[in-house]
A = this chain, B = another copy of it.
């Protein structure tokens, strides 16, 4: 069963790409992979709060999109390294810009939230 979003994503592929990026975990994984290859459990440790299941699923999507490469080494037990593809590299530059924006403007956003919430409280008491 297709959801409306899927239908529109097909009509406008940009949305499809955006849909992949519009995922907090993807952004975090991409960012974590920037310095170099990382193993599955390394990612799991670094990205606090992500479950094994979601990490696995997200990596698969990123691999399918050609953003992340998976390489398995025939050790015992098996070792698997995830790294950025060239395509993934170009993306992380943009993603970094987003992360930097977040860092720079985090406080402004938090202030805005406080003001908004305070105004709501005012409205409730005063009106």
> What residues of chain A have their CB less than 8 Å away from a CB belonging to chain B?
4-5, 7-8, 13-24, 26-28, 48-49, 63-67, 87, 90-91, 94-95, 97-99, 101-103, 105-106, 108-113, 115-117
Task: Output the least CB separation between A112 and chain B (Å).
Answer: 3
* Copies of this chain, whole number: 2
Task: Output the least CB separation between A66 and chain B (Å).
Answer: 3
Q: Are A112 and B94 in contact (CB under 8 A)?
A: no
**A22 to B14 Cα, complex, angstroms:** 15
Q: Are A23 and B21 in contact (CB under 8 A)?
A: no
Q: Could you say which of B15, B106, B108, B117 contacts A14, with CB atoms under 8 Å apart?
A: B106
Q: Are A66 and B112 in contact (CB under 8 A)?
A: yes
Q: Are B18 and A24 in contact (CB under 8 A)?
A: yes
Q: Could you say which of B15, B27, B91, B113 contacts A22, with CB atoms under 8 Å apart?
A: B27
